[in-house]
Amino acid sequence: MLLAMIVSVMAGVWIFLQPYVKEFQDNTNWASANGIADRLEDRFAVVGVAPEGVGIRQTLSVVSTQVIPIMNSESWTISADLVGYDKTEIEEINGSAFTLQTDNGSASMVEIITPDGTENYTFDDLGDLITINHNLNVYSFVMITVYDDSGEPIHRHVGITISGVKVVTLMQKGHHEIALINDARIEKFPDESWIISQGPDLELDELHDGRMRGSLRLVDVTVNGSLSKGNQIAFDLISLGPLELFSGQALNLRITYISSLDSIITPQIQEGWLTDYALHRASGTLDQHRGISPWQRASGADGFTIDAGELIDLEIDLHRIEVRT
């Protein structure tokens, strides 16, 4: 009789504690997932600046967590004039053609660099608008540099597709996800929308001469192979070599950004970048705004610029990391 009473009481206590036990398990799994994400971010930062071929071996304990690749999750386009005596515009038509136009016709050569190789095109009379066709694959990366007749670069246009990884953890109501894409951290709880915990690494500051400086680090992480499942996973993080995309003066800067992770990510990034601009616009003090502003339409749908497209100092690097399993 006494034993039956004890068992009955213990069963009642267990039923009462069950929700708290489940919540404790969720909190433990969430903390573990964030610890894994922190370690991956630290390793990406170290390997990203290393010379080509240099890397580290990484082992992770993943009892209730998976690390999953996110391929081609962001698209960036960055273009700027590198001199003040001509304005150049490049518009991509498709994967094998683009148009080129300059105000003063100073362009005489175009260099196209992709992972497939390099092609050069020269022309004597640029005219108002020309179309250039090429035979390179520009899907993942393309850098187009325009030169004048003295060989000085006058404009650069870069298109990049960024990949990353996702840390997925099982919880009572579904899966918790942390996306590590391009130095940003985006988080999603079960039955909730994605929230940007940390945006892309775009920094602004003012130099001693009053000129603005923009710095951006792009991080592309690709997975070569399959990340195995189990209590532990091991893989190599190998640097493919950092690339310097822009370094020095730039005018008419235009940046476009599109996220394919979820439809709500791009508007959130745009809103975050334009917060200061929106405040100045609402108060009627746009003439005092210095920083990120929209390119053409106020929504940012056409892209963004810095300091209204005036002369700035621009530093943009691409860190390329490969995960080998």
User: Is residue 2 domain-resident?
Assistant: no
Domain count, the chain: 2
With CA atoms as reference, report the closest residue to 258 among 315, 177, 215, 200. 200
**Whole-number average pLDDT of the chain:** 87
How far is the C-alpha of 199 from the C-alpha of 70, rounded, in Å?
17
pLDDT tens figures, 46-67: 999 999 999 999 888 777 788 9
| CA separation, residue 3 to residues 9, 11, 15, 185, 287 (Å) | 10, 12, 18, 53, 81
Confidence of residue 172 (pLDDT cuts 50, 70, 90): confident
Query: Are residues 26 and 48 located together in one domain of the fold?
Result: yes
Query: Are residues 105 and 253 located together in one domain of the fold?
Result: no
Query: Are residues 71 and 201 located together in one domain of the fold?
Result: yes
pLDDT tens figures, 104-145: 888 899 999 999 899 999 987 666 788 899 999 888 999 999
Question: How many Cα atoms sit within 13 Å of 290 on the Cβ side?
Answer: 13
Query: Are residues 137 and 170 located together in one domain of the fold?
Result: no
How far is the C-alpha of 213 from the C-alpha of 204, rounded, in Å?
6
Both tokens of 126, joined, read: 């640029």
Query: Are residues 315 and 263 located together in one domain of the fold?
Result: yes
Query: Are residues 213 and 283 located together in one domain of the fold?
Result: yes
User: Is residue 5 domain-resident?
Assistant: no
User: Is residue 119 domain-resident?
Assistant: yes
pLDDT tens figures, 213-247: 999 999 999 998 777 666 788 899 999 999 999 99
Query: Are residues 314 and 174 located together in one domain of the fold?
Result: yes
Between β-strands 107-114 and 97-102, what pairing exists: parallel, antiparallel or unpaired? unpaired
The H or E element spanning position 185 is: strand 184-188
Give strand pairing partners of 174. Answer: 171
User: Is residue 236 domain-resident?
Assistant: yes
Query: Are residues 136 and 285 located together in one domain of the fold?
Result: no
How far is the C-alpha of 298 from the C-alpha of 268, rounded, in Å?
15
Q: What is the CATH number of the domain that holds 103?
A: 2.60.40
User: Is residue 276 domain-resident?
Assistant: yes
Q: What is the mean pLDDT of residues 4-12?
A: 53
User: Is residue 97 domain-resident?
Assistant: yes
Instruction: Dump the DSSP string for 230-257.
Output: SSEEEEEEEE---EEEEEEEEEEEEEEE
Instruction: Dump the DSSP string for 253-286.
Output: EEEEEEE-S-TTHHHHHHHHHTHHHHHHHHHT-G
Query: Are residues 208 and 256 located together in one domain of the fold?
Result: yes
User: Is residue 1 domain-resident?
Assistant: no
Residue at which a domain ends, from 151, 177, 197:
151
Integer-rounded Cα radius of gyration of the chain: 25
One-letter amino acid of 19 = P
* Residue 202 or 20, more confident: 202
Query: Are residues 183 and 286 located together in one domain of the fold?
Result: yes
Query: Are residues 92 and 218 located together in one domain of the fold?
Result: no
Residue at which a domain ends, from 151, 169, 199:
151
One-letter amino acid of 50 = A
Residue 248's domain spans which residues? 10-75+158-324
Question: How many Cα atoms sit within 13 Å of 139 on the Cβ side?
Answer: 5
203, 59 contact by CB (below 8 A): no
Query: Are residues 236 and 100 located together in one domain of the fold?
Result: no
